[in-house]
Amino acid sequence: MAAFTSHQTQTHFLSKLPTTNKPTRTKPIVTRVRMSYQESGPSLAVVGVTGAVGQEFLSVLSDRDFPYRSIKMLASKRSAGKELSFEDRTYTIEELTENSFDGVDIALFSAGGSISNKFGPIAADRGTVVVDNSSAFRMVENVPLVIPEVNPEAMSGIKLGTGKGALIANPNCSTIICLMAATPLHRRAKVTRMVVSTYQAASGAGAAAMEELELQTREVLEGKPPTCNIFNQQYAFNLFSHNAPILSNGYNEEEMKLVKETRKIWNNNNVRVTATCIRVPVMRAHAESVNLQFENPIDEETAKDILSKAPGVVVIDDRASNHFPTPLEVSNKDDVAVGRIRRDVSQDGNYGLDIFVCGDQIRKGAALNAVQIAEMLL
């Protein structure tokens, strides 16, 4: 079994959240020496820096020693003027405006679809390469939708230093976590149908949802009525259909993202995908049950071998001790964990597999994937 990569070297507000659903730290928190500043590096901007993913952008940039010559911390007018510490400097958060991107090479966006729709094209017109974490541009033709381990070729025409800006979309967190595991198997045996059931953490709804889950848990344990500001029902000690709007076909938006994004990323409109997305009271890591049907046969031992060698994937599949991936084990980790690898007995021969996948929604499901995209531009 491969070892996880764990990153505990940067402290930000997420570390103040409850220890429930968070792993025991195996390393002490240490003070980082600022190593990322380089005169030859690109200039960066982080849009939505005060949010859960915005803070994780900074953590990942620091953990991976991403080179930069300057970095702008951008947020709403409400946050402008506040100070933020990153590596060995204190920055003043600036209000996001149309002039925020002058001289910026790469902008990491995670401030919601409306902000991305307004400011993403403005930044690209100023020569900035935008890596956007919202759904604003994912299904826009000619905007690459990229998971670096899966389809890096999609952004091959985008370069820094040309003065030409661009938009690159980060896929939905559930899509990233699913396809990190499904794609290596797809390359070997060609997936013809995929059935996904997701068990999605509070982090997918933002920092406020994470805080509300903590608050509700305390309230319920104390016999008080739970505060329901983010969701319209009790979240603690409960689960419910994903809170995304329901569409005319009966699917919700989150489920259709998995359908449409998979087809775009795999460049295959014929693959059949269906999904059911559920919100569960877990802090920051998603889990997914994935059933795969293949054009060509693939047995479970071959699948396990393929997955064990796949970049960004770790196999946790110990039947003897009934040990398989859990959200706790992948929280604050880069790798997506895969287990419960078994032949689908409802299909004849080796044409179907069931797998169980867990991944940190804030990290690989959002911030890490975006920073990996930025790394490909260097």
Q: What is the DSSP string of 330-350?
A: HTTBSSEEEEEEEE-TTSSTT
Out of 7, 186, 242, 286, the active site residue is 286
Contact assessment for residue 1 and residue 314, using Cβ atoms and an 8 Å cutoff = yes
186 is catalytic: no
Rounded CA separation 225/264 (Å): 44
In this prediction, residues 97-126 reach a mean pLDDT of 97
Instruction: Give the pair of three-digit tokens for residue 165.
Output: 């800006």
pLDDT band at 161 (very low <50, low <70, confident <90, very high): confident
Interacting residues of 356 by C-beta distance below 8 A, sequence separation 6+: 287, 288, 289, 290, 324, 325, 338, 339, 340
Contact assessment for residue 71 and residue 18, using Cβ atoms and an 8 Å cutoff = no
C-beta atoms surrounding 84 within 10 Å: 19
Tell me the per-residue pLDDT of 41-86, one tens digit each, with 9 for 90 and over: 999 999 999 999 999 999 999 999 999 999 999 999 999 999 999 9
- Smallest CA-to-CA distance from 210 within 25, 63, 56, 16 is with 16
Q: Say whether domain 174-361 belongs to CATH 3.30.360.10.
A: yes
pLDDT band at 10 (very low <50, low <70, confident <90, very high): very low
Q: Residues spanned by CATH 3.40.50.720 within the chain?
A: 39-171+365-377
Q: Is the pLDDT at 278 greater than 60, yes or no? A: yes
Tell me the per-residue pLDDT of 310-358, one tens digit each, with 9 for 90 and over: 999 999 999 999 999 999 999 999 999 999 999 999 999 999 999 999 9
Out of 173, 178, 277, 358, the active site residue is 173
Contact assessment for residue 241 and residue 252, using Cβ atoms and an 8 Å cutoff = yes
Q: Residues spanned by CATH 3.30.360.10 within the chain?
A: 174-361
Class of 39-171+365-377 per CATH?
alpha beta
286 is catalytic: yes
Query: What integer best gives the mean pLDDT of the chain?
Result: 92
pLDDT band at 38 (very low <50, low <70, confident <90, very high): confident
Rounded CA separation 326/286 (Å): 9
Provide the pLDDT for residue 5: 55
- Smallest CA-to-CA distance from 357 within 340, 342, 334 is with 340
Tell me the per-residue pLDDT of 166-178, one tens digit each, with 9 for 90 and over: 999 999 999 999 9
Instruction: Give the pair of three-digit tokens for residue 288.
Output: 């997914």
Q: Is the pLDDT at 37 greater than 90, yes or no? A: no
